[in-house]
Amino acid sequence: MSLAHGRSYLAIPGPSVMPERVLAAMHRSAPNIYEGDLVDLTGQVVADLRRVALSTSHVAIYICNGHGTWEASIANIFSRGDKVLSLQTGRFGQGWAAQAEAMGVTVEALDFGLTTPVDPNRVEAALRADTGHDIKAVFLTHVDTATSIRNDVAAVRAAMDAAGHPALLAVDCIASLACDAFRFDDWGVDVMIAASQKGLMVPPGLGFVWVSDKALAVSRSADLRTPYWDWAPRIAPDFYYQHFCGTAPTHHLFGMAESLKMILDEEGLPHVWARHQALARAVAAAFEAWGQGGDLALNVADPAFRAGSVTAARIGQGGAERLRRWCEAEAGVTLGIGLGMAAMGSAEADDFLRVAHMGHVNAHMTLGVLAVMEAGLQALNISHGAGGIQAAAAVVAAGA
Ligand SMILES: *Cc1c(COP(=O)(O)O)cnc(C)c1O
């Protein structure tokens, strides 16, 4: 008999778990979109978006998902025929580059594989080789959600500086903002993108782009800009509707204000980062114990490069997909599928899964997921080492 009835838990890396308070803040009648509370609230959301990125940059808000922010960044940075240096550690880095290519940008890709982070030395070498400065921007995915690799943004910035290259540094933080430490100003980032439904704990529907003065100057001559994606009016609107190129995303703005208050003014950003990292360590500890007695392994071997928001792992002989199905059907928890680790639809693709610990997630939820997974390993006779839950509990006992 299934034990899935009860509150279900979507433990995938977006949409993330949303606080009831965020949903409650959105549960209201439509406000006046010309003046009053909503206009004031928008200014506060923009100011808080700067704070959450440790940034003094410009901020543009779009009604879109993460793919929309990819398009926004590309449209404002490049002209047809310009070149991007794309640093790839998984499916999401590849996707951003593919979108740029489809829009007429020439892509030079550096592929670092699916288990190891970006090597800054290769970035420096590629930029030094670009003596004509054809590369207009470097694309870096902070956390690639497919592989759960977390890249070192400051190290990539240092490589660009060492090469003396003027390209913009553009970073995809869709899976890391408000989960893993990110410092827009300190790390010399020019463009950063995020979306509402991941660390920011709001339903899918809003995309955000942070823009440095240097990137704003570059965008003035970018010929891929179109009226909807042009970030200039959104950053500095003459009229309120220009913030959004039309009707404001009324209810999402109320949700954002509430979630940013919880992150910045209640829990505090350093605690939010530490909580995510502690939950990631608990998941890693369980997998390390399970892997002692079976064909289970974390995707990222070096703890320094593991994401705080999501953990990708392998369970051989299709065990990952069988476990995922068991957890949903028998225990009401949905794990993430493997993405980009093997050809879609192939037998190997069934060896990969992802456990998210992103957003409004605490120790009891992550320990609950891990205990359910261990029950599933038992029920499915997937051989695994003992002590996974004990190891995860020890991480929680040690605290953040
Ligand atoms: C989720 C995600 C995206 C895509 O976002 P969508 O909202 O699904 O379009 C892009 N990049 C990263 C790193 C992500 O985690």
Q: Calculate ∠ Cα 333-336-338, nearest 5°.
A: 145
CA distance 312 to 331: 20
Q: Distance from the CA of 3 to the center of ligand 1, in angstroms?
A: 32
Q: Whose CA is nearest to atom 12 of ligand 1?
A: 174
| pLDDT at residue 189, as a whole number | 98
9-16+268-398: in CATH 3.90.1150.10: yes
Residue 400 binned pLDDT confidence (cut-offs 50, 70, 90): confident
**Which tokens in the block code for residue 215?**
């990137």
Q: Distance from the CA of 146 to the center of ligand 1, in angstroms?
A: 10
Tell me if the pTM is above 0.95.
yes
Q: Distance from the CA of 194 to the center of ligand 1, in angstroms?
A: 8
Residue with tokens 């599933």: 376
- CATH class, 31-266 region: alpha beta
Q: Is the CB of 92 under 6 A from ligand 1?
A: yes
Q: Distance from the CA of 264 to the center of ligand 1, in angstroms?
A: 23
Provide the 8-state DSSP code for 31. P
Read off the pLDDT of residues 132-142 as tens digits, 9 standing for 90 and up. 999 999 999 99
Q: Which of 273, 292, 338, 332 is nearest to 311 (CA)?
A: 338
Domain with CATH 3.40.640.10 in the chain: 31-266
Residue 161 binned pLDDT confidence (cut-offs 50, 70, 90): very high
Assess whether pLDDT exceeds 90 at residue 1.
no
**Which tokens in the block code for residue 230?**
């042009």
What does the pLDDT average to over 167-174?
A: 98
Helix (H, G, I), strand (E, B) or coil at 364: helix
Assess whether pLDDT exceeds 90 at residue 296.
yes
Assess whether pLDDT exceeds 90 at residue 210.
yes
Q: Is the CB of 91 under 6 A from ligand 1?
A: no
Read off the pLDDT of residues 305-359 as tens digits, 9 standing for 90 and up. 999 999 999 999 999 999 999 999 999 999 999 999 999 999 999 999 999 999 9
Q: Distance from the CA of 32 to the center of ligand 1, in angstroms?
A: 31
Question: Does residue 375 contact residue 331 with C-beta atoms inside 8 Å?
Answer: yes
Read off the pLDDT of residues 70-104 as tens digits, 9 standing for 90 and up. 999 999 999 999 999 999 999 999 999 999 999 99
Cα distances (Å, whole numbers) of residue 51 to 79, 261, 305: 31, 11, 24
Q: Is the CB of 139 under 6 A from ligand 1?
A: no
Is-cis flag, bond preceding 15, omega within 30?
Answer: yes
Residue with tokens 């040690």: 398
Read off the pLDDT of residues 109-124 as tens digits, 9 standing for 90 and up. 999 999 999 999 999 9
Q: Which residues contact 24 (CB under 8 A, 6 or more apart)?
A: 258
Read off the pLDDT of residues 2-42 as tens digits, 9 standing for 90 and up. 999 999 999 999 999 999 999 999 999 999 999 999 999 99
CA distance 74 to 192: 12
CA distance 119 to 111: 10
- As a whole number, the mean pLDDT across the chain is 98
Domain with CATH 3.90.1150.10 in the chain: 9-16+268-398
What does the pLDDT average to over 214-236?
A: 98
Q: Which of 67, 91, 206, 357 to mutate to test the pocket of ligand 1 (most atoms within 8 A of CB)?
A: 67
Question: Residue 234 annotated as binding?
Answer: no
